[in-house]
Structure 1
């Protein structure tokens, strides 16, 4: 009966009475008995506190009631967290964003915007473009451009320009949050209760905030090797893009897309680059395409040291850069490798930033092996009022646009009565290796596993971009492949492209795959000539036929 009269209940509870009750509650039942002089008010207070603790009160009064400081607290100021917070604020909710960058072992830190903006997609693409411009200058002479001055690259000029642009983005995000009335706090967030967090700023000051709902968007950070000298002498992608000096002769440890992208553009700047590979390139991607991308890297000067893992990093000489000695062992024999480099860049994967934010105190279940958070199809964790988006999700894409989409749609479901969920199927992506690799849908290995080789038809072709013909480079090194399901009208379930402007090419075909495009529809599409993308409208040779896929002329 009491809970049916919430308006009366809210009217009689004062802050003073709440404080008296809570104090009494913690002192124990005997003390409570001593304080019961006005039984009706005290009993109401007791029931109120119990209901608050159990979460029933919030359900009755509405999650956005004055029982909490905020309707929503987002932990993490990356692309997904910012998108979710701004969308929620636009829907009239009281929102806070907490973001704090723990410095790398080298002391590197950055501003608001997360990995993509500061130490990921944005600086990576800009430095990749720097390398492409170097190749373009080499090509230019063949097209009639004449210049006699020696061409050199200035690392400091590039680094300053890239970081100035990133700084403008950091400022823009802060202004955007302010304009949307989102309270941004530069502090490290940690749960102390299911609805309460502690925020610690860089000076060590602690503040406490409560919210009806939380969104975890903490992202990932690079993984280290766990060997002597790794954190003392090596860098990661978190350090590379703001490195105050040219890295010189560089060893890249790892074969992830981060490893290959960084190794690729460093080599494109004219540096001596070696990539140490433990097993395979681009795990999780189509291996046919990954190996072709690696072959192109070797053609353009990147050296690969395969089937080795580092065991020790030693400093021979300090400096900017200094000199390092790397000791590695073979994964197949007793062979030992030793080499000297100016810089060692570790890119062996990333770990979810979930281990030190008090998720155990909130009751959120986490995969103990990788720190990833299991969620349902609405990004809801094991705790109903706590959600998660972005790279920390178990079994989902680690891509910026995915986090942004998930964040926006989540806010609309939580606060606008929407029902649309993030679609994690047929997500297009691109690896910005020197020869770019774009894909959407299944890798060939996964398609065979799911559908069986006999139920697939794989069309493929080499090609030679027209812009490569006059310089005479990379003849028939570019490659296109589509994987079609014969049981479903040859619907395209895998799209793969190795060539220039891969992101621009793949984006449109990603939309086509969302619409369920078939091989017949591709054949009936008139290509744009002369382009690289038109190859997908003229493919005739199947892998099963073992026919010639080299191209000559238009």
Structure 2
């Protein structure tokens, strides 16, 4: 049953020519501007669709668009699906196929299966240039959040051992770290998570295939496994959840001799003297825990630390890391990496050039870790075959507020979304809510505003809301009040370390009752502290409410809840 709202008479002929094969036994309603109520109909259409051009086509209450969009819907099969009585309507192998078995893809698949749909997950890890690969669960579980936090904890334990002497602990045995023992323990835990994910999919009757998914035609993908065996599968709906992989420099020796975070967490030998290239959160986190394990670590920075984060906080993190033995080489980029000596780890020579002058740097290291950013895994999965648009600059996928791409039956979630946050909990939330909208009658959309996060550098950094630079752009510096405080955790007073290092600040909008638009804290357990304040910010936290909140004493979190410790930032 087809309902069409057509505003332009001259479009009728072209529309009928395109749709005539589909219009048998269908009923057509035509509304023209020459009708008395034409302008009011047009206004309603604008409100419904946000489309001011004509014609404006609806099928069974679903907005299609204009002439080009309608014809494209016919070409890609969407129109046929919407027409419930079209002869020989295609049936599919699955209701939903998800390409990518990371946190977002798994969350979406399990939710859709719970809602009674037939679901398949295709997940395949292309090995790194050094041959590293891993199991089901995506970046976070295998080469991201989980191993990163565990190795960060290993470094914190080393610091705790040093602090323990001041608290009266005595030990004679020489304390040293064993890299192989740590890696084995971390990988064993990750292995248990991989198995748990597979078991969870099986329990929910989700078909899992360790194969590389690639679109070959509308509603159809080719799946290629490790042995090169190919199968084909069709689905009514697809979700892209392919995530990202580390970027390489494109210089001689980078892929041959360097590693990335994809390799580090399962590296079978201690990396030794390490050069970390980059200043992303991945770079600083890895540099931080490597230094905390007692290694000689240097960070080579092209421009600024932690791009996209509050820069005052970023510089404080850098200063703290330098104080604790990490060397920073600023305004340099590598131009070549050469192997001087084989071995595990061996010996490498790095040549770099200054970004602001003719200076050349040369240095020798055992390991070079590249952490210069990540690229979306979207360019080699056949998206061009079915017409899904990507941002050609970064490979990311533009979507609407329901995570729908320009091709109606294809959705995307997670790190590949253009302009959205690259965080595991965000991908999980988006995946669940998408499945509920598709199959559960829900209308709830993922909220990408005021999402909390933490950078697990040696001095942990938790944040929620806007960086100070971004807040100034959005609200104007004259409309902001920034309150800040240095603090000294009680636990650090006995060993007498790092006084006036931990720091907190809130950014308030003076024009909105001093509502908190940015929250930032540097200190131990910053993630645990930030999570609670994130809920308050979601509820519209103001400076006044924060002042009225009684802190828990003695904790680091109380600093954010005690009026006397905040002073106006001039």
TM-score, normalized by the shorter chain, greater than 0.5: yes
Distance 1:72 1:62, change over 3 A: farther
* 1:429-451 deviation line (CA, Å, top 9, x unaligned): 00000000000000000001111
Distance 1:108 1:545 in 2: 48
Instruction: Give yes or no for the alignment of 1:460 onto 2:484.
Output: yes
Instruction: Give yes or no for the alignment of 1:482 onto 2:513.
Output: no
Distance 1:331 1:460 in 2: 34
Aligned partners of 1:460 and 1:539 also within 8 Å: no
Aligned partners of 1:459 and 1:539 also within 8 Å: no
What is the CA-CA distance between 1:51 and the residue it aligns to? 7.6
Distance 2:546 2:135 in 1: 44
Residue in structure 2 matched with residue 271 of structure 1 by the alignment: 295
Aligned partners of 1:58 and 1:67 also within 8 Å: no
Distance 1:324 1:5 in 2: 73
Distance 1:312 1:52, change over 3 A: closer
Q: Secondary structure at the match of 1:506?
A: helix
Distance 2:74 2:269 in 1: 59
What is the CA-CA distance between 1:57 and the residue it aligns to? 3.4
Instruction: Give yes or no for the alignment of 1:260 onto 2:319.
Output: no
Residue in structure 1 matched with residue 198 of structure 2 by the alignment: 174
Distance 1:52 1:234, change over 3 A: closer
Instruction: Give yes or no for the alignment of 1:85 onto 2:113.
Output: no
Which of 373, 384, 396 is residue 372 of structure 1 equivalent to? 396
* 1:284-326 deviation line (CA, Å, top 9, x unaligned): 0000000001111111111101110000000000100000000
Which of 127, 138, 146 is residue 103 of structure 1 equivalent to? 127
Distance 1:52 1:460, change over 3 A: closer
Distance 1:408 1:263 in 2: 34
Distance 2:84 2:236 in 1: 11
RMSD between superposed Cα atoms in Å: 1.7
* 1:19-38 deviation line (CA, Å, top 9, x unaligned): xxxxxxxxxxxxxxxxxxxx
Residue in structure 1 matched with residue 138 of structure 2 by the alignment: 114
Residue in structure 1 matched with residue 183 of structure 2 by the alignment: 159
Aligned partners of 1:406 and 1:421 also within 8 Å: yes
Distance 2:569 2:205 in 1: 61
What is the CA-CA distance between 1:476 and the residue it aligns to? 1.1
User: 1:440-459 counterparts in 2 under 5 A?
Assistant: 440-459=464-483
Distance 1:121 1:442 in 2: 22
Q: Secondary structure at the match of 1:191?
A: strand
Residue in structure 1 matched with residue 83 of structure 2 by the alignment: 60
* 1:196-229 deviation line (CA, Å, top 9, x unaligned): 1000011111111110000000000000000000
Distance 2:436 2:544 in 1: 38
Aligned partners of 2:550 and 2:561 also within 8 Å: yes
User: 1:134-533 counterparts in 2 under 5 A?
Assistant: 134-533=158-557
What is the CA-CA distance between 1:61 and the residue it aligns to? 4.0
Distance 1:480 1:55, change over 3 A: closer
Aligned partners of 1:439 and 1:496 also within 8 Å: yes
Aligned partners of 1:526 and 1:537 also within 8 Å: yes
Distance 1:51 1:250 in 2: 56
Equivalenced residue count is 502
What is the CA-CA distance between 1:538 and the residue it aligns to? 1.7
* 1:352-381 deviation line (CA, Å, top 9, x unaligned): 000000000011000001000000000000
Residue in structure 2 matched with residue 551 of structure 1 by the alignment: none
Q: Secondary structure at the match of 1:395?
A: coil
Aligned partners of 1:117 and 1:166 also within 8 Å: yes
What is the CA-CA distance between 1:148 and the residue it aligns to? 1.0
Distance 1:484 1:245, change over 3 A: same
Normalised to the residue count of structure 2, the TM-score between the two structures is 0.86
